[in-house]
Amino acid sequence: MNLTTSRTISLRNLVLSAMMLALAYVLPFFTGNIPQIGSMLLPMHLPVLLCGFLCGGPWGAVVGLIAPLMRSAILGMPPPFPTAVAMAFELATYGFLSGFLFSKLPKKNLTSIYVSLLSAMVGGRLVWGAVTALLLAFGTSPFTLQAFWVGAVTSAIPGIILQLVAIPAIVLSLQKSNLITL
């Protein structure tokens, strides 16, 4: 790869990452900034996962780390502690794993998309649970396994379904249209 190609790819990744960060900031407005709806539809997760697929793991991790902290600092949503902090680790994991695994799998097809996506989703949720438990360990309300299950899975089922449908469709359509070379 020559220097011009390398710079072009870096610039493309920077622009796409900035777009994904902007989407992570804007999409929660469509849920009306209502935390219950946001925790069901997970609007910040979509652009972070896409950033990982489109730009690679490191770019996805940075966007995932910044998105909830930036939104919390500017708007107060999600609440800074423990929500935004735990989400920052969760989304950084999403972005990193989706991009890293997708780049390592041999074929860029529907199977590799789903393997990368499901692994990122599970990994991110486990990191979210671990960070939340750590942050709440010294407080008055412990983080139980039941709270993890409700927060990570049952209340998020609509968002999980949305991710499983939308992310592969978007990645495949970008591949087929040659708008993005993966």
pLDDT tier for residue 167 given thresholds of 50, 70 and 90? very high
Give how far Cα 170 sits from Cα of 2, 45, 90, 118, Å: 29, 14, 22, 16
182: pLDDT confidence band, cut at 50, 70 and 90? low
Phi, psi (rounded to 5 degrees) for 72: -65, -40
Q: What is the DSSP letter of 6?
A: H
pLDDT in tens, 54-112: 999 999 999 999 999 999 999 998 999 999 999 999 999 999 999 999 999 988 799 99
Take residue 88 and report the two structure tokens written for it. Answer: 């920052």
What are the structural domains of the chain? 3-176 (1.10.1760.20)
Predicted model pTM: 0.92
What is the overall mean pLDDT for the chain? 91
Confidence of residue 9 (pLDDT cuts 50, 70, 90): confident
Segment 119-133 mean pLDDT: 95
